[in-house]
Amino acid sequence: MIFEIDMLKPNDRYDIQEAVFIRWANSLGDGAVKELSDVVDIKFLSIFVQHITGESLVSSGSRAQDILNALRLVDTDERFSQTNITELADGNPRAICSFTSLFAPPDVRDQKLAEALKDWCIERALRFQVQINDFISSWRDGYALNAILLSYNPELFDMDQIRDMRAVDRIEHAMSLAERHFNTPRLLQPKDFSIY
């Protein structure tokens, strides 16, 4: 899904990316991020730095200085070296969006990785007779998500249990299982799948 997100309308793509990033940020800590601009507040930056480095970030009293200090602590490979600190501190939405995209590992955009991930998904779902063709339409009905979870623990449930469910309920079922049994943070919501 994430690899074909360019097929979405720009506003839909932005909304999904923003929502997923906020959910990811909140999975690190105590729900400090309510909106995208909160990622440059000292509260989230402190949680983030602690999570990544184990070090504490002390507030300097200056938002720009706090952002700079946080980036210096976490930026070992200089991914953030071209980041405009002033624009981040001013809450510029475009700068914040560009900034958040830097959190993704470089290979996430690599097409070879996308193909390898797709092949892995196909292999995991095959024994449950669930066909995966792409990262968009193959996920809408919830069968692929459930099949992948079941491939790791066949005792979780029986595929026949979900056949009569609506697609949104199958997706919710898979996401709830992933959260409970595999400690996977809920970064997407079932409704995100219907946008595709």
Question: Is the same domain home to 85 and 118?
Answer: no
Contact between 143 and 130 (Cβ < 8 Å):
yes
Describe the crossing of helices 93-101 and 10-28 by its angle, rounded to 10 degrees: 70
Question: Is the same domain home to 56 and 94?
Answer: yes
Domain boundary among 71, 104, 137: 104
Question: Is the same domain home to 84 and 117?
Answer: no
- Confidence at residue 132, expressed as pLDDT on a 0 to 100 scale: 93
Separation CA 169–CA 193 (nearest Å): 12
Question: Is the same domain home to 143 and 59?
Answer: no
- Confidence at residue 190, expressed as pLDDT on a 0 to 100 scale: 87
Question: Is the same domain home to 73 and 26?
Answer: yes
Domain boundary among 104, 129, 161: 104
The two three-digit tokens of residue 116, written as one number:
């390898």
Contact between 85 and 64 (Cβ < 8 Å):
yes
4 found inside a domain = no
Helix (H, G, I), strand (E, B) or coil at 183: coil
Report pTM: 0.62
- Confidence at residue 22, expressed as pLDDT on a 0 to 100 scale: 84
Residue 88 is part of a domain; what is its CATH number? 1.10.418.10
Question: Is the same domain home to 30 and 95?
Answer: yes
- Confidence at residue 195, expressed as pLDDT on a 0 to 100 scale: 63
CA quadruple 27, 29, 35, 41: dihedral positive or negative?
A: negative
Separation CA 97–CA 18 (nearest Å): 8
Question: Is the same domain home to 62 and 85?
Answer: yes
Please say if the pLDDT value at position 196 is more than 80: no
Q: What single string gives the DSSP state of each residue in 37-83?
A: GGGGSHHHHHHHHHHHHS------S-HHHHHHHHHHHH-TT-TTTT-
Separation CA 153–CA 183 (nearest Å): 14
Residue 73 CB coordination number (10 Å): 18
Give residue 77's domain range: 9-104
Domain boundary among 80, 104, 128: 104
Q: What is the pLDDT of residues 101-152, one digit of tens each?
A: 776 666 555 566 678 888 999 999 999 999 999 888 899 999 999 999 999 9
